[in-house]
């Protein structure tokens, strides 16, 4: 089947189902809620939706612990509601991506239940190891979420590997039967009509022979061994040749710690096994590798991340663009300013949306939603957050630890979408499963619908503009004044038209002059977040897009 690469002309919207919209009043988002909001997503100019997991799951990691890959959780509306959503999305020319989580399953998955009892053919579906004689664990790897990566199972009398939560045992991808299961899952959803997959931590699925200790990484031990493991390319090729190549679909692969050079080995357009990668540099401009090691925000670091990926992939592979998802705190609170919330939300939108690639917006980003200050550890829901609170190596006071959660926790972006000023932000008529950000009375979609200059309407205009400009899809990218710690300036040029994007990241006025070769008097100002831009000054977090044709 010919690959038409339709994803290049679309903007995607990520739905994290639990907190998107509750349709039946039980306090949790669901597909009935999504159905109500399809027109809203379309109104943004989006041409696709990525659904975080919708499958039956005990919810140890909010659905990333799957108990059945070929069904939809009843609390989300089951298969029937999913079919309606799929049809509704397609009727509006929106593609649908499922989250494919195959590094691990839930420990409540039937495969694990049988594997721990050594029932064939499931015995080797997971990564089991006997205890060592000296009582040591099979190796020194850490779990990404909860202590060590090994847990002893009483039923089988062996340890199993879990790179994430205790309730997320890793699958043994070296077992051909497991790979056949993966292919069955892919075919099942593609045959049902879904258009592609976001592949969860896919770079972890091939573990090195013998599971050696990791001496490379001081924290998160193991990462140096299992990330980009020895047979990863081989397995991805197998999935592609046996299944994906037979559909005009797309794949988006989550890839922690990937450089553009490494990424090109997977996503180059001649022979790559995947279409796009989720890299992490663009969400590490205020931290060291992870949100849990915070640093002051550095615009230069952000610009370097943007520009490196733009330059290195141009003409060879396709970028995935994002600033938010369900794994990171809200971007306005991180890279922008809560004081200049609307201005900075818009500048961040402009900084991302005119680059080359396929943008993904995360629910609430289009409203400029902020981090949510939960008041006690009991209000947090995320497994990683709760573990980090209780096991903080730094032994800080409870107040200091809460302050860290407020800065770093994924729950910041998992509070319900703020639809209106009604109780619970119009998200639910019941009791929400996690606290609603109390600022919903000011920040909500209904209010923003009534205002031309809202963040929401800015996103709509920016996306419409993006779609109308040929240079954004295929033009060259150039950055100017890359050393500036105040401004991000870039141009796109396809020979027929040229744009200059100007973004200030300062909370005060700054002097501005266009880079050489850009005559602003001949340009049309096609997007701005202040009503009357001044030629030689930028207001706090001001952004502008100029067009020459
Ligand atoms: C990915 C997901 C994250 C999940 C983890 C384990 O990083 O985005 O939400 O917790 O994988 O599946
Ligand atoms: Ca519900």
pLDDT digits (tens, 9 = 90+) for 488-524: 999 999 999 999 999 999 999 999 999 999 999 999 9
Helix (H, G, I), strand (E, B) or coil at 97: strand
**Residue of 25, 105, 37 lying closest to 65 (CA atoms):** 105
Ligand 1 mutation pick, 54, 61, 163, 385, max ligand atoms within 8 A of CB: 61
| Helical H segments across 378-485, by residue range | 383-390, 398-408, 445-449, 455-468, 470-474
| Helical H segments across 201-329, by residue range | 223-226, 232-242, 260-267, 299-313
393, pLDDT greater than 80: no
pLDDT of amino acid 344: 98
Helix (H, G, I), strand (E, B) or coil at 293: strand
pLDDT of amino acid 218: 81
pLDDT of amino acid 529: 98
pLDDT of amino acid 1: 82
Q: Across all residues in the chain, what is the average pLDDT?
A: 97
Rounded percentage of the chain residues whose pLDDT exceeds 90? 96
Q: Is the CB of 164 under 6 A from ligand 1?
A: yes
- Mean pLDDT of the 404-411 span: 96
Whether the pTM exceeds 0.95: the reply is: yes
447: β partners = none
pLDDT of amino acid 331: 98
- Mean pLDDT of the 43-53 span: 98
Relative to the CA of 104, which ligand 1 atom is closest? 12
Cα 515 to chain centroid, rounded: 33
Q: Is the CB of 204 under 6 A from ligand 1?
A: no
Q: Is the CB of 382 under 6 A from ligand 1?
A: no
124: β partners = none
Q: List the catalytic residues.
A: 200, 254
pLDDT of amino acid 394: 65
- Distance in Å, CA 21 to ligand 2 centroid: 8
Residue nearest to atom 5 of ligand 1 (CA): 64
pLDDT of amino acid 2: 85
pLDDT of amino acid 395: 72
CA–CA distance, 164 with 219 (Å, rounded to integer): 14
Q: Is the CB of 64 under 6 A from ligand 1?
A: yes
392, pLDDT greater than 90: no
- Distance in Å, CA 62 to ligand 1 centroid: 9
- Distance in Å, CA 427 to ligand 2 centroid: 10
CA–CA distance, 514 with 518 (Å, rounded to integer): 6
CA–CA distance, 86 with 177 (Å, rounded to integer): 30
Q: Write out pLDDT tens, residues 452-498.
A: 999 999 999 999 999 999 999 999 999 999 999 999 999 999 999 99
Q: Is the CB of 11 under 6 A from ligand 1?
A: no
pLDDT of amino acid 449: 98
What are the φ/ψ torsions at residue 504 (nearest 5 degrees)?
A: -95, 140
Relative to the CA of 165, which ligand 1 atom is closest? 6
Q: Is the distance from CB of 384 to CB of 292 less than 8 angstroms? A: no
Helix (H, G, I), strand (E, B) or coil at 148: strand
Q: Is the CB of 200 under 6 A from ligand 1?
A: yes
- Distance in Å, CA 81 to ligand 1 centroid: 25
- Distance in Å, CA 297 to ligand 1 centroid: 24
- Mean pLDDT of the 151-161 span: 97
Q: Write out pLDDT tens, residues 221-265.
A: 999 999 999 999 999 999 999 999 999 999 999 999 999 999 999
94, pLDDT greater than 90: yes
Ligand 1 mutation pick, 64, 291, 383, max ligand atoms within 8 A of CB: 64
Q: Is the distance from CB of 33 to CB of 22 less than 8 angstroms? A: yes
CA–CA distance, 242 with 401 (Å, rounded to integer): 48
Ligand 1 mutation pick, 98, 324, 327, max ligand atoms within 8 A of CB: 327
**Residue of 235, 229, 233 lying closest to 210 (CA atoms):** 229
- Distance in Å, CA 429 to ligand 2 centroid: 10
- In Å, the largest CA–CA distance within the chain is 78
The band of 133, judged by pLDDT with boundaries at 50, 70 and 90, is: confident
Q: Is the CB of 479 under 6 A from ligand 1?
A: no
């Amino acid at each position: 089947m010919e690959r038409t690469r339709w994803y290049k002309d679309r903007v995607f919207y990520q739905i994290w189902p639990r907190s998107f919209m509750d349709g039946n009043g039980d306090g949790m988002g669901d597909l009935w809620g999504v159905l109500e909001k399809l027109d809203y997503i379309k109104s943004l100019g989006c041409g696709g939706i990525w659904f975080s997991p919708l499958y039956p799951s005990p919810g140890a990691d909010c659905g990333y612990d799957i108990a059945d890959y070929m069904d939809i959780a009843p609390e989300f509306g089951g298969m029937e509601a999913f079919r309606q959503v799929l049809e509704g999305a397609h009727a509006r020319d929106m593609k649908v991506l499922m989250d494919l989580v195959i590094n691990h399953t839930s420990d409540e998955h039937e495969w694990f239940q049988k594997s721990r009892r050594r029932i064939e053919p499931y015995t080797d579906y997971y990564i089991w190891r006997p205890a060592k004689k000296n009582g040591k664990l099979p190796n020194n790897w850490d779990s990404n979420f909860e202590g060590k990566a090994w847990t002893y199972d009483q039923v089988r009398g062996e340890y199993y590997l879990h790179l994430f939560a205790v309730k997320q045992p890793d699958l043994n991808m070296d077992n051909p039967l497991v790979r056949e299961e993966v292919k069955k899952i892919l075919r099942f959803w593609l045959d049902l009509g879904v258009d592609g997959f976001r592949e969860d931590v896919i770079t972890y699925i091939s573990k090195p022979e013998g599971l050696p200790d990791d001496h490379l990484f001081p924290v998160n031990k193991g990462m140096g061994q299992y990330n980009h493991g020895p047979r990863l390319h081989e397995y991805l090729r197998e999935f592609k040749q046996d299944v994906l190549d037979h559909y005009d679909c797309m794949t988006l692969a989550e890839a922690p710690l990937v450089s553009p050079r490494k990424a090109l080995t997977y996503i180059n357009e001649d022979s790559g096994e995947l279409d796009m990668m989720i890299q992490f540099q663009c969400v590490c401009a205020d931290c060291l590798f992870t949100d849990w090691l915070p640093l002051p925000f550095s615009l230069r670091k952000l610009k370097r991340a943007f520009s490196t990926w733009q330059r290195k992939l141009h003409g060879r592979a396709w970028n995935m663009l994002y600033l938010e998802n369900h794994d990171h705190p809200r971007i306005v609170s991180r890279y922008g300013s809560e004081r200049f919330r609307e201005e900075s939300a818009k500048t961040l939108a402009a900084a991302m949306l005119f680059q080359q690639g396929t943008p993904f917006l995360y629910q609430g980003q289009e409203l400029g939603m902020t981090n949510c200050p939960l008041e006690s550890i009991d209000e947090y829901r995320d497994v990683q957050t709760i573990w980090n609170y209780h096991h903080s190596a730094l032994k800080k006071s409870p107040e200091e630890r809460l302050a860290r959660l407020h800065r770093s926790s994924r729950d910041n972006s998992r509070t319900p979408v703020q639809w209106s000023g009604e109780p619970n932000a119009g998200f639910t008529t019941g009791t929400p499963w996690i606290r609603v950000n109390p600022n919903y009375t000011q920040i909500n979609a209904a209010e923003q619908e009534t205002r031309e200059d809202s963040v929401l309407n800015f996103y709509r205009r920016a996306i419409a503009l993006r779609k109308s400009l040929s240079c954004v899809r295929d033009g060259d990218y150039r950055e100017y004044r890359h050393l500036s710690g105040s401004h991000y300036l870039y141009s796109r040029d396809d020979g027929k038209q040229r744009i200059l994007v100007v973004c200030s990241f300062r909370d005060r006025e700054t002097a501005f002059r266009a880079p050489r070769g850009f005559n602003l008097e001949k340009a049309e100002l096609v997007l701005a977040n202040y009503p009357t831009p001044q030629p030689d000054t930028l207001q706090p977090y001001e952004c502008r897009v100029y067009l020459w044709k």
